[in-house]
Structure formats: C-alpha cells, structure tokens
Chains A and B, each alone.
Chain A
Amino acid sequence: MRPVIKKQKVAVFYPQGFLDGNSASELITVPDMQAVRASNVTVVVVSMKRVVFFNKNGIQIILDALSKLQKEMKLTIGFCDYNKQQYEAFFKYFNKDVPFSLFMTLDIAMLFGGVHKEEEKDGNVLVWHEDPTQRSMQAIEVYDRGFTPVVAQTEEDFLARRKDEKLFYAVVEMSYLGLMANRIAAKTRGNCVIYYLKGFLDGSVTEQFDVLYHQNCLKVGFQLFMFDATRVSSLNIHAANFFSRLSTAGAEYGALIAIVGLDMEKTPKAFVEELEDAGIMFFENEADFFADETVQSMSGGGAAVKKEKNKLTKAMVAKLPVFVDATLDTLEMMTGMEAVKEGMNVQAFDAWGGEALMGSSIAFYGDIDGRITLVMPRELVKKACALLIGEESDDTEILADALSELVNIIAGKSKTHLQESRTNINITLPRNYLELEDLRQTLEGIQGVQVDFSFGDYPFIFYLSP
C-alpha cells in the first residue's frame, strides 16, 4: 500500500479492516518502502482510524518494516489516529516498553514532524502525559519546534485547561514519544524560514539539517532564513563552517541568513567574524531581527529569485507541452470543466486584476530547472479542490492547503510523464500566494512562457519560468 505524503514531511499508511500476522505483511512492502525513501520524509506513521482489529503479530511485522526505514533514514516511526483501547493495547503488547512513537491524531504526528500551517504564528501547545519523563520529553520536543509548551502537572489540571481548547495551537494527550528523528525543526513565517537550533553545535549539524528542504525553500523564492540559537550553548569550527557554506550557497539566490539569540560571550570572536564575512547577520532576539531595515526590505512581499544563471532554456520550452497537458488534465479532472486555450506568449508575468485571485508555484530541478506558477480566481480554486477536501470550502487556509496539493499533483504528473522521455526532475514544496502583488514581485524581471486559459467563465494562467 502506497503511503500518503503530507507536506513532504510525513508519510501515512491508511490500512482498513484487520491487521493480523497475515495481512500486515502486505501493508508496507518493498516498493512501498522505496516510495518512503524517495519521499525524504522525517516521520512515517500508520493510521489506525479504520483498523478495527489488530494483534501483536501484525504490529510486530509492521514494526519490522518501519524499523528498517528508521535505521536507514533516522526517521520517527509510529502509529496515529487510535482510540484509547488501541493505545492501551500497544503498551500491553510491548510490556510498556514501546519501541515507537504514538500520536493520538495525525495532526499531532504532523506537529512533531515539524509540519506547521502556513503563516502560523507562535502558539501554545497543551501537553499531558501521566509519566513525568514522557511529559518533559514531549514538552521539550514541542519547544524545539518553535511552540510554547503548557505542561499540565495532573490529570485534573489537564482537564481544566483543555476546557479552553481554542486557546491552544494543539493539545497533546494519549501520545508517546519513542526514538525521535533528530532533525533541526523548521517553520515558515511570512517570507521567512525559521530554524530552531539547540545544544552545542558541532559537525553533526550537517546531518541534522535538512539540506533538501532548505534548497527547496531557496528555489521557491524564500530569501530570509533565521536560525534561532537562543538555546545554543556554543559552537565549534565545524558548525561555523557549515553556516558559512550555507550563506555562500544562498548568495546566488539573494538569500539572507541571520543567527538570532546566540550567546556571544561563549562564542569565539573569530567564528563570529568569519560568519559576518560570509554575510551572516547576528541579532540579539527575534524582535530585533524582524525590525531590521534590511530584513524588512526583503520581507515585504514575494522574494525574487536572483539566481542569474537561470534563463528560459530551449530544453525547458521543449517540455512545455508536458507541463501544460498535466495542468489541464488535472484541472479538468478536478473541476469536470473543459479548458479553452486563449493565448501563449514568451513574456513577463502578466495577471489581470480586479478578482480575488490565488496563486501557487512549485519549482523543479534536475535535467531541467524551472518553476510552474498557476493563477486562478478563488472560485475556481474552490471547484478544483472540492475533490480533495470533499466540499466547496471558503476557508482561506483550507483552500491554500488544497491548492498546494493541486500544484503538487500537477508537478507529480509532469514528473512521471517527463520520465517517459528520460527527463528526470525533482520537485520542491509548493508555495502559495494569497496576494497577487507578492507573486508579481517574485516574478519581477523574469521572462517566462505565459499560457492563458479559460475554464467556463473562469480565467486561468499557467506560467513556466526559469
């Protein structure tokens, strides 16, 4: 069974029915494990929401497959979406020594997997576990992901606080953390990517840092990268070199890297100077960072990709029909409407105004590099995403999420079709634009291929750019 990949960070298997020693062996097969490896996720979970029966044999077989992936990829593995009876059964089967993580819901698994809602501000997370060690561990992991844990000390305290559930970004209960993936947590705030560092930083930072995620962020236009070092005790030359290299690599994208909250007294002066020479800025706290003039000038809207060597190439234009067909086929499938091509030009991005528009872009790299951008009226997004979300929603966050998935599907389809002609690409995370102005800024000064379509009464822009 292939897993569902959420936000390119969490892989979820959704078995249905009965998981025993016979059926469990078919849940995560060798090709399924390969799909997980290719996805570069940090968490793999099995959802129990539609499992009505399981036994120890079944769980052990699944665990064998998950453990292999854990060892190879340093993943967090476990189960989610269970009820109380199932939760207790896990502990019974493993004599309370559960060698995996348990997340009461997929949302909690996503939280610990470092998946945050776009534009999400800092939030409080209520944490409760009867075991004090688990409680502390969960609180630390929550904190590591940029949230403020509110730890209930007794069950009564927890139940009382949970009455105001709306005050919390999430409530963590009936969950258990086994061996966790040791990746540096990241989240986005507006146009800025924030990484959370901790402890003494040495050469292992290169293993803990998700380079692919960082590169993807650069490719989709993020320019501001803040490393929260408020919980860093100090760093050595290897870590300093890592940041220096990161800054140099980001320069061609016009990226700015800042380290915030580093204890300067414990950090060798020579390291700081070397990092400053590499273009890294230092700030005492987050407020100073966001108030800085340079930072503000870069965070107003979309970040323009400055990578100069990227130009619209013949090879990319030759593949235009693949991208366009994948886009139209997907949108026709999702909306049940037929598309009509209105025109195609090599030009700067030019969107009409006056309507509530939403945009999303996704970059690709490999044998050819570039970016697909789709712009459509909000009403068309609603129609196109109804298949994914089950109904026409007007909630901007839900629509933006569904639009990301739509763009992901289009890119995935293009990738498959390109492979048929032996052109291999990888795709980044999608980036949404709720304000057209942000998108205009992102694509400013770039020449791409713009194809205008209409779906019934709705206009639609496909833009392929370097």
Chain B
Amino acid sequence: MITAEQIGMYLKSVPPLPETLRKTLEALDQGDLAGAAKEAEKDRALVFYLKGVVNSAAFGFKSELNDVPQIFSALGIQRARQLIYAYMVASMAPEAWGYFDLDTEHFRDFQVTMMRQWETIVKAEGAPESFLAASALLGAGLVVADAIFAERAEDVALLQSMEDLTLDTILERISGVDFAKLVGMIAKKWEVSPEVLEVVLLAFGKKACDKEATPCRLAKLLHLLLFYALSRPAMMRAGVNGFVTFNPAFSEDVMARFQEILEIA
C-alpha cells in the first residue's frame, strides 16, 4: 500500500527552512522584531500569508495591518514565530487536497483558530510563550496524511468499513512509522527547538509523560485541543476526524481545566 521508501521520498521533498525564514527566526531569537520584519519582507509569499492571517477575524486587530514591521510589532516575538511555522506548514499543503475534503481556506481557518485557542491555553497556564509554536506544527500531520493516502483513498475506505482504524494506525501497521514520527522529522528539518518538539511529539497522545512537568501538561492540553479542532463541523465534513487516534485517558486529568479555559460547557 505505502512503502517506507515512498515515505522517505516524500520526506525528502519537504523543503528545509529557507534562508530568509532562518534569518527571520534568528532575529526573533535575539528579540529584534524590526530586523525580523526586514528579513520577512524578502519573502513575498510569507508577507501575503501573514497579511491574510493577521487581518482575519480570529486575530481581531482593530485596524487592517498591511505593513510588515507593523504586523511583527502587533504580533510580538512568539506569535510571529508561531506564524512563521504555520506558514511553513501551509506552504507544504497542496493546492488541491487529495484525500481530505479540504481547501486552502478551510485549512488556514483550522490553523488560525487552533493557534488562537492554543495561545489562550498557554497564557492561562502561565507557560512560556515559546510553546506557542507547538500548535502550528501539528497541522503538518494533516498535510503529510493527505500526501500519503491520496492515491489509496479507496483502499483506506474499504479497510475502515471493516475495522475501526484511524489513518495513523493504518500507516503505523503498514510502514512502522506514525504521524508523530513524521511530524517530528519535519520539525527537526525546520530546526524547531527541542522543548517545542517535545510538546508536539507528546501531543499525539501515544507516550506517557511526567504529569508534573510543564511540557507534559501542555501536551495533554494540546492533544485535547487537536481533537476539539478535529471535531468542528468543517473538519468532520472534511473527513479529518479519523486522522490520528484520540486517547482520552492521556488527557483525562486536564479535561476540566481545558473546558474551563475554552469555556466549553
């Protein structure tokens, strides 16, 4: 169905962090928002993406932001970093999705809404804002899943009509790798910090972690957020709900807190 070779080929095709973005991120590391904006301006696709996102209802800025330094200034360091990774994920996404019933606009809405909700959670938990980037990277899993399964949609549908199998389970049983590993590989390629990468990998809910540690607690909340996002009507319609396997037990101890933060009753 899908071989390790095909997956390897696909991963090779994922571009590394472009020079402009690396320099933008380096400037952000140094707290140099103006320098970061100056670098970002060189990437017209990034500028187009940023304008679209920051002027969406989800961000709710009072006036329209068109100037890149103005955008960076309004976002702040960590939100700007989060959006750069979200842009990388969006640039990986296909123009025409093959497996999921998604399009560019829906995927962007999914990314943006999840990023905003994640920001609310990170702030409510009093966790370092550097963890904001974690939610942006999870979307990469969807892009990878679409690329891997687009040609085998009929086989997947047949398998899923017989057994309760998520795409992640099918992938793991066929190839021995899962989406957590694939997203992890992509995140490494993009030089994501080890702390953020840890949260991303744990957020797939497959590994137990020390519940007292901040990355673990955040990963549990991010696991819930992912499934909250995948349960929204547009994503249910797009067939994304069965992308990876939800593990309620993994996040059980933070469920009440999650509901409280996002006011889900």
User: A interface vs B, CB < 8 Å?
Assistant: 1-5, 12, 14-20, 22-23, 25-27, 29, 47, 49-53, 55, 329-330, 332-334, 336, 386-388, 390, 405, 408-409, 412-413, 416
Contact = CB atoms under 8 A, between A and B. Distances in A.
24 contacts: A1-B239, A3-B161, A4-B160, A4-B162, A16-B227, A16-B230, A16-B231, A16-B242, A18-B231, A22-B233, A25-B233, A26-B233, A29-B237, A50-B245, A52-B224, A53-B264, A387-B159, A387-B173, A388-B159, A390-B173, A405-B162, A405-B163, A413-B154, A413-B158
A52 B1 CA distance: 32
Contact of A387 (B170, B231, B236): B170
Given A4-B161, A14-B242, A405-B162, 13 more contacts: A1-B242, A16-B230, A16-B242, A17-B228, A19-B231, A25-B233, A53-B259, A333-B1, A333-B155, A388-B165, A409-B158, A412-B158, A413-B154
Q: Nearest 6 CB-CB pairs, A to B?
A: A17-B227, A26-B236, A17-B231, A333-B1, A16-B246, A18-B231
B162 A336 contact: no
Given A16-B227, A16-B241, A390-B173, A336 B3 contact: yes
Interface in B136-194: 152, 154-155, 157-166, 169-170, 173-174
Contact of B237 (A18, A26, A413): A26
A279 B259 CA distance: 66
Contact of B173 (A15, A18, A386): A386
Nearest to A404: B162
Which of A23, A27, A333 is the most central at the interface, judged by chain B CB atoms within 10 Å of its CB? A23
Interface string B76-102: 000000000000000000000000000
B241 A1 contact: yes
Main secondary structure of the interface of B (DSSP, over half): helix
A461 to B, nearest CB: 22
B248 A15 contact: no
B232 interface: yes
* Contact-residue size bin, chain B (C-beta under 8 Å from the other chain): 35 or more
B21 to A, nearest CB: 32
Contact of B161 (A18, A26, A332, A412): A412
A17 B114 CA distance: 15
A12 B242 CA distance: 14
Interface in B194-239: 224, 227-228, 230-233, 236-237, 239
A12 B160 CA distance: 11
A49 B247 CA distance: 9
A18 B241 contact: no
A122 B232 CA distance: 45
A2 B159 CA distance: 11
B24 interface: no
Contacts of B166: 16
A332 B155 CA distance: 12
Nearest to A22: B233
Contact of A409 (B152, B162, B224, B236): B162
A386 B172 CA distance: 11
A305 to B, nearest CB: 26
B255 interface: yes
Which of B157, B159, B174 is the most central at the interface, judged by chain A CB atoms within 10 Å of its CB? B159
A413 B152 CA distance: 12
Contacts of B239: 1
Contacts of A23: 231-233, 236
Nearest to B175: A336
A2 B157 CA distance: 8
A344 B163 CA distance: 33
B251 interface: yes
B119 to A, nearest CB: 20
A3 B161 CA distance: 6
Interface string B33-63: 0000000000000000000000000000000
A409 B233 contact: no
A16 B231 CA distance: 7
A417 B148 CA distance: 22
A1 B237 CA distance: 8
Contact of A5 (B162, B232, B246): B162
B1 A17 contact: no
A12 B236 CA distance: 16
Contacts of A29: 237
A442 B159 CA distance: 29
A120 to B, nearest CB: 21
A15 B227 CA distance: 10
Contacts of A405: 162-163
Given A52-B251, A387-B173, A17 B159 contact: no
Contacts of A16: 166, 227, 230-231, 241-242, 245-246
Nearest to B227: A17
A412 B161 CA distance: 10
B163 A388 contact: yes
A17 B233 contact: no
Contacts of A4: 160-164
Interface in B235-265: 236-237, 239, 241-242, 245-248, 251, 255, 259, 264-265
Which of A2, A25, A50, A51 is the most central at the interface, judged by chain B CB atoms within 10 Å of its CB? A50
A3 to B, nearest CB: 8
A27 B236 contact: yes
Contacts of A1: 236, 239, 241-242
A92 to B, nearest CB: 15
A153 B6 CA distance: 60
B228 A2 contact: no
Contacts of B173: 386-387, 390
Contacts of A332: 1
Which of B158, B170, B228, B246 is the most central at the interface, judged by chain A CB atoms within 10 Å of its CB? B158
Contacts of B233: 22-23, 25-26
A19 B265 CA distance: 11
